[in-house]
A and B are shown apart, each in its own frame.
Chain A
């Protein structure tokens, strides 16, 4: 009986629980129901319970969709519809392939097939309903525990990202180009600065050296006039030859430093080359075939003919040395259009002279240093390393440019560019320097020279033939002498002097105040920061070291001219 009572209680309790459960379900007091299935229980969430997740899916900035394995859209969020510029009703139930570019559909099918449990990701180009293309990243994963296979996918718009990447790439490319340009300019600048520094140093050394050579040479000459001993005369001759070699060296150095006085004239390079052809042929020898390929109607340029011919000889000899087994050497001329010339060529048309050989060529490291002074690949004693430097100085002083093309084993081509001049080419009339007799009449000569050794030589030389000499160490000192009322027939003045007055300026002032005074200018380096003023261009310039007879001849002709003008 008690047992029955207990069973009734238990059954009542169970009934109560069942009723409560039903009530709860009826009243919607639950979030989810659990349904038993063959593969175990499944939790079904009631609609309002998963609202937060729906909100997330609808509000997220990515497109979201579910697909059947054949690509039919089962669900899509609003963001995806907006991205594809289409209504949701036009997507759901339709194949998603219609939004995939034709060429990408195969890849899209593969993405769906491979989605699986771990998911896959790929980038696609989608076509929006309005025809615009959209780059997207798409990830797909198979939803678990579904009776039918369902694939969920997230679509991320890459348009902005791609655009940023593109902008970044463009900026990067621009930056790289700027850096390369800067490097190139810096390289040029470094090169120019190096050449400038070496040039200044070279000019300084050569200038001082010339004064030393002048003093030594002058005094040797004075000794020579007194010496009677044959053996002594022989020694003097040897010494003088050494001085001449020294002078030649300083001359080359000054050429490189672009500090040599050039006597440019409007000339045609073709004429100059034809003129020196026999000399060039002798220089190259029999093994090398010399071809002159002179362009037609090549304009004139302002060049020093002597320097040009020396440069040609130098290049030809270099080319010959590069072809010990013989070969072909071509000297070509022509005018070059602007764009064929390197950037720094400016806007003027240029005359080009190219000396090309079929020799051993130069590796880059040699080519880069070829114009450096004292850089030589020749054996010790065979070359000074000044030849190309001298050419470099000459070309640049002539406002021109140089270029070297060289390939090892093929040959070298050295190109010289001179600005073409509008001036009509003068028939080369380098009249032989007029030979003036050595002065005979006794005159008063003012010697202006800051180097006391050179000054002493000048004085002694002039006094030796009977002139009266007044010495002045600087320009201002010379002017004081002239202003003191002393009658001076001629002035011999150095160019570079201390106390702020150059020989040119002194000459200009004398020319202005005492036009009948003869003037001779001497120059150690001819380091003319500016060319001589127009008014005194006719004054002869003597380059140190000069010989006694050269001085006397120059002075004589200056005196003659002033007498003629008087």
Chain B
């Protein structure tokens, strides 16, 4: 699944390509998906792609992105590549890992 922003490159910032690895529909996976969507919606509106991958269905996808556990959110672009592990409920930590911490909030 991919959430594609309708106006890539808009809102004056870099375009983000994110990939979220989960395992089935466990509570933690469901929470991770909701949190990732929330962050994208509030901070990357219009400039992100979010792909959710179920490791049960596609275990081979874990090798490509060197995933060691699930849930894991991977920032593919902009580089450098970053991974955040867990259910993404610590928003500050997630934002920092994604390089969004520098963005001064209005």
**Residues on A facing B (Cβ under 8 Å):** 10, 13, 16-17, 20-21, 24-25, 29-34, 36, 40-43, 45, 49, 52
Most buried by A among B29, B55, B84, B93: B55
Known contacts: A34-B67, A43-B59. The answer to whether A29 contacts B85 by CB under 8 A is yes
B82 and A13 form a contact (CB under 8 A): yes
B62 within 8 Å of A by Cβ? Answer: yes
Which residues of A are found within 8 Å of B22, using beta-carbon distances?
A: 31
Decide: A41 near B63, CB < 8 A? Known: A17-B97, A29-B85: yes
Residue of B nearest to A16 (CB): B97
Chain A nearest CB, measured from B76 CB (Å) = 14
What are 16 sample pairs from A and B whose C-beta atoms fall under 8 A apart? A20-B84, A20-B85, A21-B69, A21-B83, A24-B85, A25-B68, A30-B28, A30-B72, A31-B71, A32-B55, A32-B70, A34-B55, A40-B60, A41-B62, A43-B59, A43-B62
Q: Which residue of B lies closest to A36 (CB)?
A: B63
Task: Give Cα A471–Cα B49 distance, bound, in whole angstroms.
Answer: 125
CB of B86 within 8 Å of the partner chain: yes
Q: Told that A30-B70, A34-B69, A49-B26 touch, could you supply 9 new A-B pairs with CB distance under 8 A?
A: A21-B83, A24-B85, A25-B68, A29-B28, A29-B87, A31-B23, A40-B63, A43-B59, A43-B62
Residues of A within 8 A of B72 (CB): 30
Which 5 pairs, one residue from A and one from B, show the smallest C-beta to C-beta distance? A29-B86, A30-B69, A24-B85, A34-B62, A32-B23
Chain B residues contacting A20 (CB-CB under 8 Å) are 84-85, 93, 97
Residues of chain B at interface, number, CB under 8 A: 26
Q: Which residues in B have their C-beta under 8 angstroms from that of A25?
A: 68-69, 85
Q: How far is the CB of A443 from chain B (nearest CB, A)?
A: 121
> Which residue of A13, A31, A42, A52 is within 8 Å of B70 (Cβ)?
A31
Q: What's the least CB distance linking B101 to chain A, in Å?
A: 12
Contact of A30 with B26 in the complex, beta carbons under 8 Å: no
B residues near A36, Cβ cutoff 8 Å:
63
Does B80 interact with chain A (Cβ within 8 Å)? yes
The residues of A that contact B62 with a CB separation of less than 8 Å are 34, 41, 43
B86, closest chain A residue (CB): A29
Cα–Cα, bound, A33→B70 (Å): 6
Q: B60, A41: Cβ atoms under 8 Å? A: yes
A34 adjacent to B97 (CB under 8 Å): no
Contact A31 B26 (CB under 8 A): yes
* Inter-chain contacts of B80 with A (CB < 8 A): 10, 13
The residue of chain A having its C-beta at the shortest distance from the C-beta of B89 within the complex is A29
Q: Are B59 and A49 in contact (CB under 8 A)?
A: no
Bound Cα distance A34, B80 (Å): 22
Chain B residues, Cβ within 8 Å of A32: 23, 55, 69-70
Q: Are A45 and B97 in contact (CB under 8 A)?
A: no
**Distance of A32 Cα from B84 Cα, bound (Å):** 14
Closest to B21 in A: A34
Q: In the complex, which residues of chain B have a beta carbon less than 8 angstroms from the beta carbon of A34?
A: 55, 59, 62, 67-70
- Give the complex CA separation of A34 and B71 in angstroms: 11
Residues on B with C-beta less than 8 A from A45 are 23
Q: Mark B29-63, 1 if CB is under 8 A from A, else 0.
A: 10000000000000000000000000110011011
